[in-house]
Structure formats: structure tokens, C-alpha cells
Amino acid sequence: MDGKEQIREIIEDTPVIMAVKDWEGVRRCTAQESKVVFILFGDVCSIDEIVKTVKDAGKIAIVHIDPKIPLNYTQVIR
């Protein structure tokens, strides 16, 4: 079974996909039945930790990439 078939089967079994927009949402999703999490926040510096947390909870992470932010975007840290 390839990856697409596995995801299709998981979504058929639990058709609700949780969407998280902050760390509180990530914490709450780990206790839910749904096996798929749509991540709506983060940046190149934090997305790996967010995805790892979701995957460590046994869930599939789907990351939203905002096309309005250029790939060379940098955040100034003061």
C-alpha cells in the first residue's frame, strides 16, 4: 500500500481533520481521535518542532504553506 492509499484509508476511518493555529491547538490535538492534523502556523525555524510533536503523538502532519510569503522572507529578531 502506498502513502496515498494509507492516507485515504486513515481519513475514511476518521474523517475529521483537526486544524491547529497555535501550540495550544497542537497540545489539544494529541488527545483527540483524529489521526490527521493540518498545521496552519509556524515558520522555517519552528515547523520542524511542530511537525515532530504531531508525529510523536502518532498523527499525520499536513503543513500549510502560505504562498503570500516569499521564500527569501526573513524575520528580524531584536
Interatomic CA distance for residues 78 and 65, integer angstroms: 25
Interatomic CA distance for residues 7 and 15, integer angstroms: 11
Contact between residue 50 and residue 39 where contact means Cβ atoms under 8 Å apart: yes
Query: pTM for the complete prediction?
Result: 0.77
Give the three-state DSSP class for 57: coil
pLDDT tens string for the chain (78 positions)?
A: 787 888 889 888 888 899 999 999 999 998 898 899 999 999 888 999 999 999 999 999 999 887 766 555 555 444
Give the three-state DSSP class for 5: helix
